[in-house]
Amino acid sequence: MPIRLTERRPEVSPDRLLSECVPPPRFAPVRFETYRPDPAEPSQAEALALLIERGNALAEPRRTTKPRRLGRLFRGRKSEPQTKPGIYLDGGFGVGKTHLLASLWHVSAGPKMYCTFVELTNLVGALGMREAVAALSQYRLICVDEFELDDPGDTMLISRLLGQLVDAGVQLAATSNTLPDKLGEGRFQASDFLREIQALAAHFDVRRIDGPDYRHRGLPVAPDPWTDDQVERAAANHPGASCDHFVDLYHHLGELHPSKYGAFLDGVETVGIVDIRELTDENIALRVVVLADRMYDRDIPLLASGVPLDHMFSPTMLKGGYRKKYLRALSRLIALAHTGMA
């Protein structure tokens, strides 16, 4: 019998959230040596060279005699022009930003932490700001993938958190599809929070990475969906496979905090979803985005029936403020669907 995700209600402790702040299984084996810059996109080789340079610096053991000088690691010597305490990789989908970020984490000496932006905000919510600052200040490097602000509360929360961590000497590295001074644009009145947004941008040296989405080079936009019966039979024949109706699944997701979506997939090796439909509710769509991210982190193949995946988000959504999130989710779900059909 397939697993029913709709029957799962995992409980996740703050300790587990913290202990899981490492690159997801998909990016556990990546290294700088396995990154293949596109010769037609010089910004990729430039970003690789920069991250290797910073990785070499972070590979050196931290000096325990003068911990407060850690904040100078990326700033150079006093006689040299100072750079910002963090590196921020901006670019489109599938150009290898996460590969580079995870590679930096792998070569760096600890203590170190790796998480997505959503996981970081969930961690602060679970620990509280004071405890989060105390716990995260112990890290030498914090890598934050998929950095994007969706509301004023997140803007103020993360601005305050990162400011205190930088003051404590923590080094930052982040990826996003949005430049730091454009975070929140299209979703709320960014001008009302300009001070917070500028404070965030001040922490980062921004590097742009250009190029097409490598996941779709030579691939169709989306595979043809299976029938409901095909998905159900395939899930029944795959050990560790789940199978749920799309509507039941997204209603169930609404009853769980997004910080639990990772544990939600514990032991699941294939996800089957029948009767995928076009989404028009923003809240439901954003929950599906988080689930897609956690599936992609764990490299879990997808078996799907219903509308083609590239029709799952309505045209209005794909033109709105969360457009980049939806496009990222589509990019990832289509890649997982191709794996499921292989």
Owner of token pair 């100078």: 72
pLDDT of res. 73: 38
Q: How far apart are CA 149 and CA 118, in angstroms?
A: 9
Q: How far apart are CA 276 and CA 273, in angstroms?
A: 7
Q: Which residues of the chain have pLDDT under 50?
A: 65-82, 183-193, 218-220
Distances (CA, A) of 5 to 25, 227, 259, 265: 21, 20, 16, 8
pLDDT of res. 88: 87
The pLDDT tens digits of the residues spanning 194-238 come to 556 567 777 788 888 887 656 555 444 789 999 999 999 999 999
Prediction pTM value: 0.75
pLDDT of res. 205: 84
What residues have CB less than 8 Å from 243, skipping those under 6 apart? 2, 3, 4, 231, 232, 235, 236, 272, 273, 274, 303
| Main-chain phi, psi angles of 271, to 5 degrees | -110, 125
pLDDT of res. 213: 59
The pLDDT tens digits of the residues spanning 11-20 come to 888 888 888 8
pLDDT of res. 152: 66
SS3 of the chain: the string is: CCECHHHCCCCCCHHHHHHCCCCCHHHCCCCHHHCCCCCCCHHHHHHHHHHHHHHHHHHCCCCCCCHHHHHHCCCCCCCCCCCCCEEEEEECCCCCHHHHHHHHHHHCCCCEEEEEHHHHHHHHHHHCHHHHHHHHCCCCEEEEECCCCCCHHHHHHHHHHHHHHHHCCCEEEEEECCCHHHCCCCCCCHHHHHHHHHHHHCCEEEEEECCCCHHHCCCCCCCCCECHHHHHHHHHHCCCEEEEEHHHHHHHHCCCCHHHHHHHCCCCCEEEEEEECCECCHHHHHHHHHHHHHHHHCCCCEEEEECCHHHCECCCHHHCCCHHHHHHHHHHHHHHHHHHHC
* Domains located in the chain, CATH noted: 31-212 (3.40.50.300), 215-341 (no CATH)
pLDDT of res. 307: 97
pLDDT of res. 15: 84
pLDDT of res. 86: 87
Q: How far apart are CA 14 and CA 125, in angstroms?
A: 9
Q: Compute how many other C-beta atoms are within 10 angstroms of the C-beta atom of residue 318.
A: 14
